[in-house]
Chains A and B, each alone.
Chain A
């Protein structure tokens, strides 16, 4: 496989939402959607528990919103336990353990709702597909985001290494609370 989307089990879930294996003939919008994601035309991606919003630039700007169901407290707790001890990055084995435990990180396709403010009639439109690819790419890079999406909010692991890359520093509370 030579695709740049879905290079890990985490991102592959979302690449498959865009390109379901059940697809009998290729969706003609896919090459365009991939190219939009590849050329960074999907911006302002905000990923929170239960929802993702993004802006896709393609003949104007289009707002895409994707909703997924979050886990209940018990599932959130189980996922949290499972990733304890792992660093900032997560291996694919964590993904497969979740799948085996009957708690796959990826939402089933039929419970994912996606909307776009474009006027096209086809759904998913090319913008939604582009957003799926971008989400796939971001999850490939940061598997923990897949868990954030399902409701594991504090899944940011505090760095345990003696040196911390600037990109992993949290700007909130940078100066600490006054008077503490």
Chain B
């Protein structure tokens, strides 16, 4: 089983008992969906059968020194020979071809494909090698089994040009890509992402692959930096740069990764054409939107990852878009899936759920826009020039400054009303909008928490426009009990209810049951992480049968990142007694001017 590092015994009524009789480890009982011949023997369909699971290493160990009795099927016989080869470090190439389909028929987590014989054997070998070596330098060490399978798939995709990694949000597409980039050391690699994600990528690269050289390729003087890219360097850039920069297509890359690849969904756009002109051995598109239902977008992505696979756009439109979308042809849809299925890896959160903890927490680091940085620095300068005074006065003034800075991080419009459109002015707002668009297009529901009433109102207005829905309710303390209850009931119980609910952190602290949401976004940071946890538990509580993903948004290089580091215990506040009192805000008011200034000043770019 490629995506869970294990072996499954199946094919008899009592797999555990039979395994024991045969002298193999019995394993844990479960049921398993496999691709099996139907009763006519002419078609293969998914069917769930009783099975037991054994971890790869003990299974290989047992099989390697086992001599199969007469009655045992071909699949198990061949696996015993493969296990012996793996065990003794011998090649398995000649054995892979002998393995019948039954030997690797477990349905993949994508529910539509099975892993090939060679992918299954590779996975068994990898699992055994890893169990023996305990190598912790590679990012692989922190990956879950389904993610390791994803990385192996990405690596093998180079044989066909590349592939589309389309796992649901929260399943770790970025970390899979980073593990892949870590292995690509022959040429420089290129990552293209939206501006709002640049900070997140550099932070994740620093965290999971600290030995990889990262170069951010943006800004007017960028050309010089590109020359310093060496083999193995990851060059990070944006779609804006990609669209107008010939230097990127002039050189050869080993891997090119397009994150949020729906940015090139329009095949004729400048960005799509620029992407197709990039020269690379391995081309990966990452997206969480349901590409299989958006055929022109699918064509555009695959024209980048697997040029030629779907033919010209005109032919593709005649052959598939028309029949599938206009005539609802199931045959055409099924055939299209056969063609693209091997090259698109899309696993849904609910299918991976057994492999996941009940709550996943991620930080989403967002880029600061120029407008935000200008306002942020101006506010800092002004406050420090005026001075904070002393005593209670000082405390009040510092808190006022912190609030202002946090609001600038949320959106500049909150502190200086320009009346201009909201998009493009706040890294967090842009990122949150992208995330919610992706989640809602997949049918997921999300809670968005903020501590400010004005921010909540701004978010509600913006999401209504951008998510094409007139219903994005905002639950806050100003509403009466009846109104609040109505919002909760409609979100929790009405099938037609809204997909996104905004809540004020304080109004929704406890009591509410909002388990219909499987994603929680914290739009701003509270001083005390316990308050945030309590809010997240509106979705993550009894009655929730899915994994809840908690996304904490923060603006890079600002006090939000500093708060995050204090929460994570990575940063101590010199000269204060953290933990002794109510929280970080109290601690901050005790800092000297210099300490405070150093903490709040935007740090240089590129620092992790």
Contact = CB atoms under 8 A, between A and B. Distances in A.
A161 B160 contact: yes
Interface of A: 1-2, 4, 7-8, 38, 87-89, 91-92, 137, 140-142, 159-171, 173-180
22 contacts: A7-B318, A8-B319, A87-B309, A162-B115, A162-B342, A163-B116, A163-B341, A164-B116, A165-B112, A165-B341, A166-B112, A166-B113, A167-B335, A171-B42, A171-B44, A174-B36, A174-B101, A176-B74, A177-B74, A178-B73, A178-B74, A179-B74
B323 interface: yes
A22 to B, nearest CB: 23
Contact of B116 (A91, A142, A161, A171): A161
Nearest to A179: B74
B341 A162 contact: no
A142 to B, nearest CB: 7
A179 B71 CA distance: 9
B249 to A, nearest CB: 25
A168 B339 CA distance: 9
A169 B308 contact: no
A88 to B, nearest CB: 7
A161 B339 CA distance: 11
Interface string B112-124: 1111101100000
Given A89-B309, A162-B342, A169 B337 contact: no
A163 B44 contact: no
B73 A91 contact: no
B75 A163 contact: no
Interface in B246-280: none
B35 interface: yes
B203 interface: no
A159 B116 contact: yes
A59 B170 CA distance: 55
A161 B161 CA distance: 12
Q: Which 3 A-B pairs have the closest CB atoms?
A: A176-B100, A176-B74, A161-B342
B75 A171 contact: no
A159 B103 contact: no
Given A1-B318, A8-B319, A165-B337, 12 more contacts: A2-B322, A8-B315, A140-B319, A159-B116, A162-B115, A163-B153, A165-B112, A165-B342, A169-B114, A173-B101, A176-B75, A180-B98
Given A162-B156, A163-B115, A165-B113, A175 B74 contact: yes
Interface stretch (B178-186, B325-333, B397-405): B325-333
B418 interface: no
B155 to A, nearest CB: 9
Contacts of B99: 176
A166 B156 CA distance: 20
B50 interface: no
Nearest to A140: B319
Contacts of A166: 35, 44-46, 107, 112-114
Contacts of B375: none
B114 A163 contact: yes
B334 interface: yes
Contacts of B102: 174-176
Contacts of B345: 163
B311 A91 contact: yes
Size class of the B contact interface (CB-based, 8 Å): 35 or more
Nearest to A165: B341
A176 to B, nearest CB: 3
Nearest to B337: A165
B23 interface: no
A159 B345 CA distance: 16
Which of A160, A162, A166, A175 gathers the greatest number of chain B CB atoms within 10 Å?
A162
B159 interface: yes
B252 to A, nearest CB: 23
A5 to B, nearest CB: 10
Contacts of A92: 311, 315
A175 B335 contact: no
Contacts of B329: 4
B338 interface: yes
Interface in B156-181: 156-157, 159-160
B338 A165 contact: yes
B100 A162 contact: no
B343 interface: yes
A92 B318 CA distance: 13
Contacts of B112: 165-166
B488 interface: no
B478 interface: no
A166 to B, nearest CB: 5
A45 to B, nearest CB: 11
Contact of A88 (B35, B41, B339): B339
A161 B340 CA distance: 11
Contacts of A173: 100-101
Contacts of B311: 8, 91-92
B431 interface: no
Nearest to B327: A4
B591 interface: no
Interface string B25-47: 00000000001110001111110
A169 B345 CA distance: 18
Contacts of A178: 73-74
Contacts of A161: 116, 160, 342-343
Contacts of B113: 163-166
Interface in B549-564: none
Contacts of B116: 159, 161-164
A169 B101 CA distance: 8
A89 B339 contact: yes
A176 B345 CA distance: 28
B36 to A, nearest CB: 8
Nearest to B330: A40
Contacts of B152: 162
Contact of A7 (B77, B323, B343): B323
